[in-house]
Copies of this chain bind each other. A is one copy, B any other.
Amino acid sequence: MAAPKHPRPCSVADTLALVGEKYSLLVLREVCLGNGRFDQLVRNIGAPRDILATRLRRLVDAGILTKRVYSERPQRFEYRATLAGLELEPVLMTLMAWGDRHLHPDGDRPMVIEHSCGKDLAPVVTCAACGDPVRHEDLTAHPQAPGWTVTGPQAT
């Protein structure tokens, strides 16, 4: 068995290569909340301005954000999520749910999301085919690239 020179090909890694840098997902959070202006982002995220500028360029290049002018004189911009960007919102929701559950067990959630059904949102990841919630023990991974194996799902 040859030692692989490259890491496992994987969409998780590919996606994280785009949005896995520090602050990138927080930028997306703010943009989804409607706070898409540079100084709002600086304040709400707490990122250094130069880093934020770099992240914004990267996210725009990746097609996750767009930069649109909302005032010509003086020229002012607003970043908004593209469709692809909005489709990352579920990632934010699952991250938030985990943090609420494990980092704020007293119920002192920093933010509550209300769903259109009237209830507070508790996001659950389900299988599109059968509708059941996804549990670890129900999953079997099949790497598509040759040479990459899994030793089987972790037993609890």
Q: A-side interface residues toward B, CB under 8 Å?
A: 3-4, 6-16, 18, 20-22, 25-26, 29-36, 43-47, 63, 80-81, 83-84, 86-104, 108-132, 134, 136-145, 148, 150-154, 156
Among B34, B47, B139, point to the contact of A113 (Cβ < 8 A): B139
Q: Are B43 and A3 in contact (CB under 8 A)?
A: yes
- Centre residue among A83, A112, A113 by max chain B CB count within 10 A: A113
Q: Distance in Å from the Cβ of A38 to the closest Cβ of chain B?
A: 14
Q: How far is the CA of A28 from the CA of B84 in the complex (A)?
A: 25
Q: Distance in Å from the Cβ of A133 to the closest Cβ of chain B?
A: 9
B residues in contact with A43, CB < 8 Å: 3-4, 7
Q: How far is the CA of A41 from the CA of B102 in the complex (A)?
A: 25
A interface: dominant SS: mixed
Q: Are B123 and A127 in contact (CB under 8 A)?
A: yes
Q: Are B110 and A46 in contact (CB under 8 A)?
A: no
Q: Are A121 and B94 in contact (CB under 8 A)?
A: no
Among B89, B110, B118, B123, point to the contact of A10 (Cβ < 8 A): B110
Among B22, B90, B92, point to the contact of A20 (Cβ < 8 A): B22
